[in-house]
Amino acid sequence: MLELGERTRRRALTLVAKAYSSISLDDVSSFLGVSRAQVADVVNPLGWVVDTASGMVAPKYTGEH
């Protein structure tokens, strides 16, 4: 069951990265099923930029999610 959750999360990351140049932190949190505080831990390794002051995330699509 954990594998299904991880595949779903990877797919959500790919879709968000393809569709958005910026997206709210709340939306990313909701799409990934993690808290706002956990978003940076998930997306920073992918090269995404999280701006907690503005509450926005700048996805970076690399084709590798």
Each residue's pLDDT tens digit, 19-45? 999 999 999 999 888 999 999 999 999
Please return the burial class of 63, using the count of CB atoms within 10 Å of its CB with bins 0-12, 13-18 and 19+.
exposed
**C-beta of residue 12 within 8 angstroms of C-beta of residue 31:** yes
CATH number listed for the domain at residues 2-58: 1.10.10.10
For the chain, give every domain's residue range. 2-58
Average pLDDT over residues 38-65: 91
Lookup result for tokens 């997306």: 43
Cβ–Cβ < 8 Å for 56, 27: no
